[in-house]
Amino acid sequence: MGMRHRFVVALGVVVLLFGASHQVGASPKIAVHIVPGTTNNACGDPAPAGVPCSEIVRTQSLPLPDNDFTLYVIAEETDPGISGALFGIAYDPGYPGGLDAYGYCFFGNPGTYLSDGPFGPWPHPWSGARVTWADCQTGFVTGHEDEGMRTLIGAIWAHTPEPDVFSIIPHPETHKLWLINCQGLAIDLPDSAGGQAGFAHDGYNPCTGEGVWTPVPLAPPPPPLPPPPLRSPAAVLLHVTHETHPAEWCGMDFTGHDVVTAASLQPEDNPHVVYLLAVPEDAAGLDASGITGVQLGIQYPTRPEEHRGMKVLDWHTCSDVEFQGDNWPASGTSNTITWALGNCAMGDLVTVGYFTVSAYDPSAMSIIPFPPSGFIKVATCKGAEEIAEEHVDPARAGWVSFGGAAIGTDTDGCNPLLGPCGSPTPVQVTTWGKLKRLYR
């Protein structure tokens, strides 16, 4: 799609601990408000600050002067306050036949983790955003306190010469539309709680129910692209040990030569600790940068009811926020683990988190690609305003062996900092639609 301009805003990668509990009794929404014209200071002096949800502009006739406008994304009816949001955006990807979003900003200097869509990075169609604030957001529109609290999330600059609809949708990776309350709990919103801005179409205001809400289909397939280059020496690895001071586990300092990848079997009342470690590109003692996020899966054999394979007893993150896949840390599940804005995890070898595990018979525990994408990723911070996402070579993903379990001919695990690792069972790249059909 044609991109007319790009505005660069300093963003940090952050995470929220989205627990299994959900807030009930609230009816929050994420609305979209249209303002003709654009300004580089949209998030510094926002036009909709005094516009209540009942007066949001959901529909715009065409043409506009220059056909440019600003879309404000606003969380509404958020009592008693929120600290984060998880959502995606969708519109016709066929510019110049539809809308072209060419810039963005976020309100309140939040931490953000932006996910690419099939047509490019945020704010391309079917891309996603995870947003979190350090402080609880508890604002009102003066004179309209009866409409509840509201939080300005962000703004997107766009251009359209043709009819189109811009929609708030569930996040394209997690398929969740969430707001996060000030206790860190996810508020699971229905798809119809997302607003829609219509251009020569009727939009939808979720606060009033005015307009027509149109379900958004799954993203159409993008043109085929070559796979992204592998960017070693970024690496992720596992280190197994016994520890006696759990309060200190996230503060442990390691070097590549400290890593242990093989252990004997132990009873369940004397479990092992398995550290998840990450190495940024260009570390290994040279120009270390630091970590702002890791995205991966985990795999191990498990039949605990028969006392066979392995059992993960617990998982603890050493980051600020994480986006766990369903049933994490079960075998075959995934997690996106991130640090807040300005809180980059520095070091040549960063402790991401740790598992406590019991192995009943010979078993291997491996890092595998993030199932939805088929990649392992490490986001590195090379400065306060620069974040780079690295795709980790599968040969740089480690594994540990319990009781002599083998992958290939290796029976002592693998430390990718000392040499390439053999691949565990490959993960088949698939779509969420296919995954859902397996469980119908």
pLDDT means per 10 residues, the chain with 440 residues, are 35 34 61 86 72 92 84 94 96 80 89 90 95 92 90 92 93 94 93 94 94 86 60 80 67 78 80 90 54 92 77 91 92 91 78 90 92 86 59 90 90 89 50 34
21 domain-assigned: no
- If asked whether residues 65 and 190 sit together in one domain, one would say yes
Distances 430 to 79, 295, 336, 373, 434 between C-alpha atoms, Å: 38, 17, 18, 8, 7
| CATH number of the domain encompassing residue 167 | 2.60.40.680
Q: Do 266 and 120 belong together in one domain?
A: no
Q: What is the pLDDT of residue 430?
A: 38
Amino acid letter at 361?
D
- Same structural domain, 181 and 50: yes
CA distance 328 to 271: 19
Look at residues 174, 195, 211 and tell me which one is the last residue of a structural domain. Answer: 211
pLDDT at position 423 is 55
Paired tokens of 409: 């001919």
CA distance 233 to 289: 13
- Of 2, 1, 53, the closest CA to residue 31 belongs to 53
- 8: in domain: no
Residue 222 in any domain: the answer is no
230 lies in some domain = no
This prediction has a pTM of 0.50
301 & 399 share domain: yes
Give the per-residue pLDDT at 289: 66
38 within a domain of the structure (yes/no)? yes
Q: Does residue 80 contact residue 138 with C-beta atoms inside 8 Å? A: yes
3-state secondary structure of 269: coil
Q: What is the DSSP string of 185-231?
A: -EEE--GGGB-EEEESS--EETTTTEE---PPPPPPPPPP-PPPPP-
> Is 3 a member of any domain?
no
Same domain for 193 and 246:
no
Which residue in 263, 258, 252, 273 sits closest to 347, CA to CA?
Answer: 252
On the 0-12 / 13-18 / 19+ scale of CB atoms within 10 A, 310 is: buried
- Whether residue 362 sits in one domain with residue 283: yes
Domain check: are 292 and 360 in the same one?
A: yes
Q: What is the pLDDT of residue 89?
A: 97
State the pLDDT at residue 385.
45
What letters, b where the CB count within 10 A reaches 16 and e where it falls short, cover 342-361? ebbbebbbbbbbbbbbbbbe
Q: Kindly state whether residues 164 and 45 are assigned to the same domain.
A: yes
At residue 344, the 3 state secondary structure works out as coil
Sign of CA dihedral 291, 292, 297, 299: positive
Number of other residues whose CB lies within 10 A of the CB of residue 385: 11
Asked if residue 106 is part of any domain, the answer here is yes
Query: What is the structure's pLDDT at 171?
Result: 95
pLDDT of residue 355: 93
Rg (CA), the chain: 23
Domain boundary among 152, 177, 211: 211
Q: Is there a single domain that holds both residue 243 and residue 346?
A: yes
Place of tokens 């020569």: 200
Same domain, 262 and 194: no
Going 230 to 392 to 359 to 372, the CA torsion angle's sign is: negative
State how far the Cα of 336 lies from the Cα of 82, in Å rounded to an integer: 21
Residue 17, domain member (yes or no): no
Token reading at 132:
């979190």
Same-domain pairing of 169 and 251:
no
Indicate whether 198 and 301 sit together in one domain: no
**Domain limits for position 390:** 235-438
pLDDT at 25: 38
Residue 313, phi-psi category: left (phi > 0), alpha (psi -120 to 50), beta (remainder)? alpha
pLDDT on residue 24: 35
Q: 152, 42 in Cβ contact below 8 A?
A: no
> How many domains are there within the chain?
2
Final residue belonging to a domain, choices 179, 211, 243? 211
